[in-house]
Amino acid sequence: MDFLISSAYAQSQAPAGGGLLSLLPLVVIFVIFYFLLIRPQMKRQKEHRAMVGALQKGDEIVTSGGLLGKITDVGESFITVRLAEEIEIKVQRHAVGQVLPKGTIKSS
């Protein structure tokens, strides 16, 4: 009956070469992610930390919530911001999104 059903024979195993070569795509993907995503984000964080550390009384700022004001008091982790003549609020230092050039508030 062998002529109706073909016999199945085990095939020889393919050579396992290229162990290091198979990791190359993963390494390339990691390098691309590092230079396109991780490194620029670390650079922005470093710049923001430096900006927050340099805040001083009299600086005009925009908070991350979009409030525009002038710093009247600087504490360890909070700053007091004057939004209008008699309106002052306390915000965290890290909530500052941008430091504006002097005189920006009067011109707007």
Give the CATH number for residue 92.
Answer: 2.30.30
* Half-sphere exposure for 88 (CA within 13 Å, toward CB): 12
CA distance 58 to 105: 12
- Evaluate if residue 15 carries a pLDDT over 80: no
Closest CA to 51 of 40, 36, 62, 38: 62
Residues 76 and 29 in one domain: no
What is the full DSSP assignment across 10-37? PPPPPP---TTGGGHHHHHHHHHHIIII
Q: Looking at the domain assignment, is residue 17 inside a domain?
A: no
* Last residue within a domain, chosen from 54, 74, 98: 54
Structure-block tokens of residue 102? 């002097």
Residues 62 and 50 in one domain: no
CA distance 18 to 45: 40
Total domains present in the chain: 2
Confidence of residue 108 (pLDDT cuts 50, 70, 90): low
Residues 67 and 81 in one domain: yes
pTM of the predicted structure, to 2 decimals = 0.69
pLDDT in tens, 38-85: 999 999 999 999 999 999 999 999 999 999 999 999 999 999 999 999
| Arithmetic mean of pLDDT over the chain | 87
Q: Looking at the domain assignment, is residue 10 inside a domain?
A: no
Domain that holds residue 38: 22-54
Residues 66 and 107 in one domain: yes
